[in-house]
Copies of this chain bind each other. A is one copy, B any other.
């Protein structure tokens, strides 16, 4: 079902990063990997952002606490198949116990290990299975295991998601490689989105966190399938420094390359979204401010009526207009709104464009990739987000998930 998403291309190893993945018995199918360990060499800096859902999962709570104590995490332990969410104190214990197994074998402090889980919620984490698998996971760490790691964090993703970039800065070659998983903002009863990106650039922790926030804003925080927010979302950026190249947030070339990897990883989630048959970009231009632009974009992206029209390839602009009209933007005025599907103008200043024909709209809707562009003509702020359509398959996947 994935829209324009292919198997990963060449993935550059990142000096200072080793990975491993295995089947630990959490997923029932023994051919599927469900445990991943990522090692960052000593001296690496780590930045992370987590779900804003108030009911976050146990591993999110533990990872936050560990990062607060030891900002330079050394190991990320990720399991798929079980979200360890809605599990209360037991879930916290299980997350800590799993981390302890890694800390023991790697001889680091407990707080240098961050836990992540994705899968069915409200089931106890099979802690012993994880602990039993840790020694072999640790023993098989290698620099070229990005693809197995991408596979190991999948739940109902149909394809592994991994992108890589390399650039020469000064005399140093700097690599950026990342993986992500997710098919909905929240999986049926699952954690959704996880992403791990590493670079061998040398970036200080505070700077790294600022950079992460900036690139997440234009990537993972700019995608939506259903407006729901997972209990387990997490995104981690590691800078090992092993390339010797120091990078600041002012380095446009690096930030652009990093942002591109993040954007590809985020878009891959939408391309593989539950039941998706279309990949939709929504761009709002000339809004009074960025929050207003985003509000209008979200109203369009979350409208089931717009999403079903997109599924039907129906250039039904009335639904888009109605979605814009309910945005909480004080200055909103239909008489200033221009609306485009791709390059086709549907509305100019709130009225059907005289040159518009249904055939033009149909042509713009027929593609797999559709751009909806709204110009509010009210200011100079904008927003760009990506979403998927609402299909029978979306309903099937989510209605039949547990049956």
Binding site for B on A (CB under 8 A): 52-56, 85-86, 88, 120-122, 184, 186, 188-189, 226-231, 302-305, 308-309, 311-312, 314, 316-319, 321-327, 329, 332-334, 350-352, 390-392, 394-396, 398-403
Other-chain contact of A392, B311, B317, B392 (Cβ < 8 Å): B392
Other-chain contact of A398, B228, B308, B329, B400 (Cβ < 8 Å): B308
Residue of B nearest to A306 (CB): B228
Residues in B neighbouring A327, C-beta threshold 8 A? 54
> Cβ of A55 and Cβ of B229 under 8 Å apart?
no
> Cβ of A322 and Cβ of B402 under 8 Å apart?
no
- Show 9 A/B contacts (Cβ-Cβ < 8 Å), sorted by A: A121-B318, A122-B352, A188-B316, A226-B303, A304-B304, A308-B398, A391-B395, A392-B396, A394-B395
> Cβ of A325 and Cβ of B402 under 8 Å apart?
no
Residues in B neighbouring A231, C-beta threshold 8 A? 321-322, 325
Q: How far is the CA of A305 from the CA of B273 in the complex (A)?
A: 13
Q: How far is the CA of A305 from the CA of B312 in the complex (A)?
A: 21
> Cβ of A54 and Cβ of B122 under 8 Å apart?
no
Q: How far is the CA of A229 from the CA of B324 in the complex (A)?
A: 10
> Cβ of B395 and Cβ of A325 under 8 Å apart?
no
Q: How far is the CA of A228 from the CA of B308 in the complex (A)?
A: 13
Residues in B neighbouring A325, C-beta threshold 8 A? 53-56, 229, 231
> Cβ of A302 and Cβ of B227 under 8 Å apart?
yes
Other-chain contact of A226, B230, B305, B391, B399 (Cβ < 8 Å): B305
> Cβ of A395 and Cβ of B314 under 8 Å apart?
no
Known: A121-B322, A312-B402, A394-B395. 8 other contacts (CB 8 A): A54-B327, A55-B325, A88-B351, A121-B318, A121-B321, A308-B394, A312-B398, A392-B395
Residues in B neighbouring A350, C-beta threshold 8 A? 55, 86, 88
Residue of B nearest to A90 (CB): B351
Q: How far is the CA of A37 from the CA of B309 in the complex (A)?
A: 33
Distance of A193 from chain B, by nearest CB (Å): 13
Q: With A186-B322, A318-B189, A395-B390 in contact, is A226–B55 under 8 Å at CB?
A: no
Distance of A49 from chain B, by nearest CB (Å): 16
Q: How far is the CA of A327 from the CA of B54 in the complex (A)?
A: 8
> Cβ of A399 and Cβ of B311 under 8 Å apart?
yes
Other-chain contact of A186, B230, B305, B394 (Cβ < 8 Å): B305
Residues in B neighbouring A395, C-beta threshold 8 A? 308, 311, 390-392, 394-395
Other-chain contact of A334, B55, B120, B329, B391 (Cβ < 8 Å): B55
Q: With A305-B188, A391-B395 in contact, is A402–B54 under 8 Å at CB?
A: no
Residues in B neighbouring A56, C-beta threshold 8 A? 325
Residues in B neighbouring A122, C-beta threshold 8 A? 317-318, 352
Residue of B nearest to A232 (CB): B322
Residues in B neighbouring A318, C-beta threshold 8 A? 85-86, 120-122, 189
> Cβ of A324 and Cβ of B55 under 8 Å apart?
yes
Q: How far is the CA of A400 from the CA of B327 in the complex (A)?
A: 26
> Cβ of B317 and Cβ of A228 under 8 Å apart?
no
Residues in B neighbouring A401, C-beta threshold 8 A? 312, 314, 316
